[in-house]
Amino acid sequence: MNYPLIAQAAKSVSKASVVPPQTLPTGAQISSFFYTFGVSIVVVFTLYILLFHLLRSFLRRTEKDTAQFILGILQIPAIAIFILVGLKVSLSQLGAGKIINWIDRGLTAFLIAAFTYGITVLFTEAAVYYLKDYARKTEAVWDDVLIPLLQNFIPVITYLIGISLFFSTLGVDLTGIGLALGSITIVLGLAVKDILSDFFSGLVLLVDTPFRFGDVISMPDGSIAIIKHIGIRVTKLYMINEHCEVYTPNTTLGGQNIVNLSRPTTHYAYTIQVSVRVDADAVVATKILQQIIVGHPDTLGNIDEKIEHLDSFAALREAEGDKLSKKEAGRLRLLVEKDVNSQMQKIEQAFEGFIREVKQLEKGGLNLEELKLIQKNYLEILNLVGLVVTSERKGKRLRSRLEEQEKTDKPTLISLIRQWYQTWLKDPDLVLEDQHLLPDEWEQKIELLKIKLNKLFQKILNPGVAETRLDDYSLKFVEWLHDSFKESNTAWKEPQVQLTDIQGSAMQFSVRFYVDNIQLEHWRRGNRIQNEVRREMVRRLRQAYIYTLG
């Protein structure tokens, strides 16, 4: 046997297993430690004064509070990070050693914990808040659902990563724990497959967006419900008639045929069957029924005709206390709405001319003079809406954007819309929650209007390769204005009265009309209007001696 080689190997192993003795820091190293730590404290204090006092005082003068808010929520984790970094830098002055290394590992672990806490707080307190604010200004439904999901999952993921790094830094072996967690995850996945199915069904509802929060839907059994919340596993519905909440699994809801009564608009059509004596004049009966529907202030129709026949509608709420009568409140609202519709028609006509002009000029590309002409005409349309261009210089670049006009002598679309919904709030039939619902609905629409016009303005200002598509962008905006903002003309939604059948001693009439907003009055506005119309039909037809039970 080769004994020299064995002896040499044993000697090398014995040398490797010998741990060098722990050496204490010298006096110079200790002095250097305290000196560095003192400097670190001064630096931390200086940074604290600069960031959380001087910079905060400066930011208070600005219009937006984003940076100031972020500084406030990051104050505690930032101070902890500064102190821990100072300790690590100071500790490096003591040299190497087993105890020193363990202390350094501990400081690194707590530094990771402070970073984890800071990132989580920054997301949950700041990012989620501004994402929700952004979601309120968009038409998309997915962000309204996605943000709560992110709010629940991101902190969990962040803390899991932070805890893993924390223990790994301390030298804890997480391999066994990881394998155990993997096995548990597989078992749990099989056990909660129905819950996972509901979760992914919720994601499908999120992507398909068949409804959004506050929408009125008709369930397969005919009951009416309001979408209150789309959760991870279940969707919360409010049942109007039963006045209760129902939690439906997303899998069940996604597999049902659901009628969304709030889309494409909150207008909803009702049909009433009424009988008239067979010997009555059908033309006279049709005229009476037409006047009844048109005369109700909460149905859609020609506004001039509605104002003309409003006083003849008897089955309306009278004035009580400081509240206006239904007729007076309805008349005021209709007069303002007439101005709104007139202003919208001006804007739509202006856009029609603008689109024709752009189509003509963009052939072969736009030169500088043609682009300036298009911009000038677009600004004239913006004046009708109530927007003006403001410019600010950032460095060498001049940035322009649209802002709402503060004061103007001429009526604008935005000012008229606000006047309209504020007048609408005087309706004595509205309930308390409508005082928030109407302003929120129309302020969101106004914000969307400004965002879309601003995007179109930026394209017109710097068209680039899209210079031959400006007419398409403008046409798309006009379609949105008519479909999703407000219709300037609802002629096709005017009341329809048809003679449907003659049986025995009665003629059967079908009366179809649209209600202006079924979400109001705790979603019972349509039922009230339908009831008032029925009562008025009975009264007026009896007055004419042509009513029959048929």
Nearest to 233 by CA among 142, 132, 149, 131: 149
Residues 6+ apart with CB under 8 A from 287: none
Does residue 346 sit in the same domain as residue 458? yes
Task: Output the domain CATH number for residue 516.
Answer: 3.30.70.100
- Whole-angstrom CA distances from 85 to 11, 71, 72, 81, 234 are 42, 19, 21, 6, 46
| Residues 217 and 282 grouped into a single domain | no
541 contacts 302 by C-beta, under 8 angstroms: no
Q: Is residue 15 part of a domain?
A: no
Distance CA 495, CA 379 (A): 38
Q: Write the CA distances from 208 to 104, 201, 212, 250, 369, integer angstroms.
A: 52, 10, 11, 13, 45
φ/ψ region of 117 (left if φ > 0, alpha if ψ in -120 to 50, else beta) reads alpha
Task: Kindly state the tokens that stand for 181.
Answer: 């967690």
The number of residues in the chain equals 550
CA–CA distance, 108 with 397 (Å, rounded to integer): 43
Q: How far apart are CA 285 and CA 511, in angstroms?
A: 11
Asked which of 438, 463, 485 is the last residue of a domain, the reply is: 485
Q: 295 and 376, same structural domain?
A: no
What gap in Å lies between CA 95 and CA 241, rounded to an integer?
A: 76
Per-residue pLDDT of the chain (550 residues; tens, 9 = 90+): 444 544 454 455 444 444 445 566 677 777 887 888 788 888 888 888 887 777 777 766 665 666 777 777 778 888 888 888 888 888 777 776 777 788 888 888 888 888 888 888 887 777 766 666 666 555 554 455 566 666 667 777 888 888 888 777 777 766 666 555 666 666 555 555 555 555 655 555 555 556 677 788 888 887 888 888 776 667 788 888 888 888 877 677 766 777 888 777 889 999 999 999 999 999 999 999 999 999 999 999 999 999 999 999 998 989 988 889 999 999 999 999 999 999 999 999 999 999 999 998 887 778 889 889 999 999 999 999 999 998 877 666 778 889 998 877 889 999 999 999 999 999 999 999 999 999 999 998 999 999 999 999 999 988 877 778 899 999 999 999 988 899 888 888 999 999 999 988 899 999 999 999 999 998 889 999 999 999 999 999 999 999 998 6
Nearest C-alpha neighbor of 390 from the set 398, 76, 358: 398
215: left (phi over 0), alpha (psi -120 to 50) or beta: beta
Instruction: Determine the pLDDT at residue 133.
Output: 65
pLDDT at position 269, please?
Answer: 92
> Do 34 and 60 belong together in one domain?
yes
Amino acid at site 119: I
pLDDT of 342 reads 96
Domain limit, last residue, from 463, 485, 507: 485
Q: Is residue 51 part of a domain?
A: yes
List the structure tokens of 463.
């068209």
Residues 336 and 480 in one domain: yes
277 and 251 in a single domain? The answer is no
Do 68 and 160 share a domain, yes or no?
Answer: yes
Residue 18 in any domain: the answer is no
Same domain membership, residue 497 and residue 408? no
Alpha carbon separation from 114 to 51, 53, 228 (Å, rounded) = 18, 22, 37
Residue 13 pLDDT? 43
**CA dihedral of 388, 394, 398, 404, whole degrees rounded to 10:** -10
Residues 211 and 168 both lie in one domain? no
Does 366 fall in a domain? yes
Position 20 in a domain: no
Q: Are residues 355 and 476 in the same domain?
A: yes
What pLDDT score was predicted for residue 504? 85
CATH number at residue 245: 2.40.10
Q: Which domain holds residue 123?
A: 28-172
What single string gives the DSSP state of each residue in 116-139?
HHHHHHIIIIIIHHHHHHHHTTSS
Compute CA 134 distance to the chain's CA centroid, rounded to the nearest angstrom.
6
**107, 137, 172 — which closes off a domain?**
172
Report how many domains make up the chain. 4
Q: Rounded to whole angstroms, what are the CA distances from 45 to 39, 74, 91, 107?
A: 10, 16, 19, 20
Nearest to 232 by CA among 207, 258, 257, 250: 250
Instruction: Name every residue whose Cβ is closer than 8 Å to that of residue 158 and which is 6 or more positions away in sequence.
Output: 116, 119, 120, 123
Claim to verify: residue 86 and residue 219 sit in the same structural domain: no
Residues 250 and 281 in one domain: no
**Which helix (H) or strand (E) element contains residue 228?**
strand 224-230
Which pLDDT does position 17 carry in this prediction?
43
Residue 3 in domain: no
Report yes or no on 310 lying in a domain.
Answer: no
Angle, helix 75-91 to helix 98-121, in steps of 10 degrees: 160
Is 93 part of any domain?
Answer: yes
